[in-house]
Amino acid sequence: MTTDARLDDLSPGPAPTLPPVRGPRESIRYLGALALVSLGAAGFAVAFRWALALAFTYAYRAPDIVTAFERMPFALRVALPATGGLLAGFTVLATMRATGGQGVGGVMEAVVLGRVRISMRTTLFKSLGAYLAIVSGGSIGREGPLIQFGGSTGSLVARMLRLDDERSRTLIAAGTAAGFAAAYNTPLAAVLFVLEVVTGVVALEAILPAIVASAIATAVTRALAGGGPIYGLRTFTFRSSWELLAYAVLGVLAALTGQGFMRLLAAGEAFFAKTTLPTVARTALGGAIVGAIAIAIPRVTGNGYEPLNAMLNTPVPFAIVLTLLVAKAVATTASVSSGSPGGVFTPTLFLGAALGACFEHVLRAIFGVGSVGDVGAYALVGMAAMTAATTHAPLMAAVLVFELSADYAIVLPLLLATSVAVSLSRRLGPDSIYTSELTRRGVRWVVNLGGRTVVKP
């Protein structure tokens, strides 16, 4: 697809046409395709998780990547991520001639415009690269390959069954939702991810398949990989109604930090581009930077799940949390900006949790012990606010953390903090972490109140 494609301007345009009439046989074929895409996305997610677990168990003799790095000699902490980045760079080279968009940006173009083909071959190569980067300690998330594989499966099945353009696009959207649901065990947030991030509008044609696909993928993932919130059950309580003001302030801080993180990623990309190094050398350098940080702070490796979970369960000193916040942002920038494939979503959750924990420490120092909620509550709200600030998707972020924690009482602070974070973040920068990818390619993504997504060159 060329990047100067557009959906005209904001003028009313021609009268809408009625949807095509489809027979029962075609509807049954589409429902079968939807089930196939859902099962494929869930199966890939489970297999990817198992492959990571096998590497940790048999290669490292450790339950996770953080524990493995804590046991490693210093030299290996640098060499291993550099080697993983080098190998991931070769997988990137294998996809450099691919046409059309990839990642979430490519999915957005494919679903809204219907003019982008999502290549399964490219997806598999990037998934392999992400796997190599993750098992070697890269500071990236596993959700990227899972989301992209879901969308690619939708695109592949649609082509195989020769579905029309509308149903092809909804199948890609459904596969994306299935991949997200399988990654986080959060079906509602998966639907909102498609609606708020991918389409930018509430389209009935997209929401119904996304709901079905999310439900199927979540059920399969829970049956094979275990159910329940991935960060455990939480119990939230208000100390006083004035605490809502604190959560609003946390939303402001998340917007500032989220914008700072996105600009750090952009600066990292500019830095690696200026090095004029070959692709594999850039990804190796990014891995080496992560390894150098891991000499002193091994918890920067991986997607951040382990230290985040520990932060929710036990108090961590302020100095350590603040150090982790800065170090993880730099390490993730080194991994992602150098070109290693993988996701930035889960590392963003970690940054938000660390921000929330730091904020709770400050409040406790000012107002005293017992005057504010526990650190886990602020970490959870920080996760949602930071995610909202970077994705510009407040409902998705709030529902995601609600599903991750299974605590209804935290919904009010979540909605308040995410709304504040998105409102300020949009004023500071119009692009989200995903639309910025499109902007760099010359595509301008705008959503208006008429329910139309406008793409301008």
CA distance 26 to 32: 10
pLDDT of residue 449: 46
- Tell me the whole-structure pTM to 2 decimals: 0.85
> Which amino acid belongs to residue 94?
A
CA distance 24 to 147: 30
pLDDT of residue 445: 60
CA distance 352 to 294: 20
Q: Which of 287, 227, 305 is nearest to 67 (CA)?
A: 305
Distance between start and end Cα atoms, the chain: 13
Centre a 10 Å sphere on the Cβ of residue 319 and count the other Cβ atoms it contains: 10
pLDDT of residue 275: 87
Q: Which of 441, 403, 434, 452 is nearest to 144 (CA)?
A: 434
Q: Which residues contact 8 (CB under 8 A, 6 or more apart)?
A: 454
Q: Tell me, what DSSP letter sits at residue 34?
A: H
pLDDT of residue 16: 45
Q: Which residues contact 441 (CB under 8 A, 6 or more apart)?
A: 3, 101, 105
Domains and CATH numbers, the chain: 25-230 (1.10.3080.10), 243-440 (1.10.3080.10)
Full pLDDT tens readout for the chain, 457 residues:
333 333 333 334 444 444 555 567 777 888 899 999 999 999 999 999 999 999 999 989 998 899 999 999 999 999 999 999 999 999 888 877 655 556 677 777 777 666 567 888 888 998 999 999 999 999 988 888 888 899 899 989 988 988 888 888 889 889 999 999 988 888 889 988 888 888 766 555 667 788 889 989 988 888 887 766 666 566 666 666 788 899 999 999 999 999 999 999 999 999 998 988 898 999 999 999 999 999 999 999 988 888 888 888 778 899 999 999 999 999 999 999 998 888 888 899 999 999 999 999 999 888 876 667 788 889 999 999 999 999 998 999 999 998 888 777 788 899 999 999 999 999 998 888 888 777 776 666 665 545 555 555 5
pLDDT of residue 233: 60
Radius of gyration of the chain (CA): 21
Q: Name the pairing type of β-strands 453-456 and 444-447.
A: antiparallel
Angle at 277 between CA 296 and CA 131, to 5 degrees: 55
